[in-house]
Amino acid sequence: GFATDPFRPGPRVENLNLAGSRARITTRCPIKLAAMATLLKAFGRFFTKHPLAGNGLVYGTLYVGAEFSQQTITRKFLTDPPQDIDRPTLGRYAIMGTFIYSPILYNWYRWLDRTFPGTAKRIIVKKLLLDQFLLTPPLLVIFFTGMSLMEQQPSITEECRQKFVPTFARSCLFWIPAQTLNFVLVPPKFRVVYVGSCAFAWVNILCWVKRQKMLSSN
């Protein structure tokens, strides 16, 4: 402490050091901002030309990221000794997010926007109700049965039967506020990406619920 700080510089020295730091930061910031702007423009162009592929890439990445974050916590920090990451499970989430959920959501929101254009309150309410009560139930069935099928479970319907109702209740508490913002503020071409970002949090919830129930059942 004292040995490394034998004296305190005067105000003029501190000001010079601060000015130099500001100059370096000012020089670097425009470069970083320009690079970020270029990346965002390229990202936007890719989504405009290839919306389905772009949404599949992002949604699959977010699904894998959610499961990876869960495994990092449960297998690396909460387990003694730490365990390796379960790569086959990550692969199953990649398939679910990229090839199953993404095209369903992409086509769903295209249909929803064409059928109910605008952001009037009554339109938003219709979209919310349809999204939560028409789309969500089959999505949950697809999730539980699809994961059970890929896991080669003896029964592909048992997990869905036990977990559907409490999971749907949680989804109402989570997705109704999230989808309100989705329909009011998010441009249509970025809608699945926004839902994918919310899905990162939601899939973490799904993974947590699934792990808790598996532990309690044992």
DSSP label of 188: G
Distance CA 107, CA 111 (A): 6
pLDDT tens figures, 182-201? 878 888 878 778 877 887 88
Distance CA 204, CA 67 (A): 7
pLDDT tens figures, 75-97? 999 888 999 999 999 999 999 99
pTM: 0.75
DSSP assignment of 140-200 equals HHHHHHHHHHHTT-S-SSHHHHHHHHHHHHHHHHHHHHHHHHHHHHS-GGGHHHHHHHHHH
